[in-house]
Amino acid sequence: MGTLVIDIGNTRLAWRLREPSGVVSGGSASHAAIADALSSLPLVEAIAISSVQRSHEGELQQWIEATHQPPPIWIRSGADLPSTVKTDEPHHTGADRALCAFAWGCADEQGPAIIIDAGTAVTVDAVNPSGQLLGGWIAPGWSALQRGLQQAAPALPQMSEEQSEEASVPWSGETSRAIRGGIESMFVEGVLGLRRRVESELGNDATTVITGGDADRLLSALQPARSQPDMVLDGLERILESGTHG
């Protein structure tokens, strides 16, 4: 039997199944489709789950019990990884942030990292070489910026699906493209500014690591940077390997 790691994010659920043969599979689904998404998964030896959305844990627990899966390891906040999280309030530090830092520490890297997780919220975190989360910043992600503007100004047209004009263009003459360009600029430039603040203390040798569903929107603008998709799942797998939790 293999291992299963699951990340209950703010808007979606993601998972990774690792079979004894080494074959790895995975996927993601909306919260509304949790039961259907997991229905075909086999019995496994061990499960670890990260959760920042407690309201969906019950459905997942029902699936675990109904399919006779082993009791999972739950990571709900930084308090579940006390040796890794050095923020002022580990209980209020997201499990996703803690697990990204833990994954960095387990990778045997030689320096500190600025870990940027671009999801519903975008976090920009300072992590030391041993994988301890020192602190960071939290801001609205791409989708949150878009939804927030739509809710605050519903009379505006829908944002253009086309890429905005080159940055050298001083303005857009079309409203829907102007909205997209404005959101793009606030998102990218905001993250760049937060990275500079973290880098001012960690030093220029800190590696920028970008993860999360909107990582591709940032990667080219934040070079030099490294892309590491599904870093939360990486951290959960390291939890299963090391037995480090609680």
Q: Contact 119/107 with Cβ under 8 angstroms?
A: no
Q: Is 205 a catalytic residue?
A: no
DSSP 8-state symbol, 77: B
- 93, pLDDT greater than 60: yes
Could you tell me the residue ranges of all domains in the chain?
111-229
In sequence order, which residues have a C-beta less than 8 Å from that of residue 194 and are 6 or more positions away? 124, 136, 137, 139
Catalytic pick among 7, 80, 96, 214? 96
pLDDT tens profile 51-92: 998 888 888 899 999 999 999 999 999 999 999 999 999 999
Q: Contact 225/131 with Cβ under 8 angstroms?
A: no
- Domain 111-229 fold: Nucleotidyltransferase; domain 5 (3.30.420)
pLDDT tens profile 186-213: 999 999 999 999 999 999 999 999 999 9
Q: How does the average pLDDT of the chain come out, rounded?
A: 92
Check residue 31 and give its pLDDT. 80
CA–CA separation, 122 and 3 (whole Å): 28
Concatenated DSSP letters for 96-141?
HHHHHHHHHHHTT-SS-EEEEEESSEEEEEEE-TT--EEEEEEEE-
- Beta bridge partners, 122, equal 118, 139
Quick one: what percent of the chain has pLDDT higher than 70?
Answer: 96
- 165, pLDDT greater than 60: no
Check residue 54 and give its pLDDT. 87
Q: What is the mean pLDDT of residues 43-58?
A: 92
Flag the least confident range among 21-25, 38-42, 195-199: 38-42
- Residue 26: CB atoms within 10 A of its CB come to 14
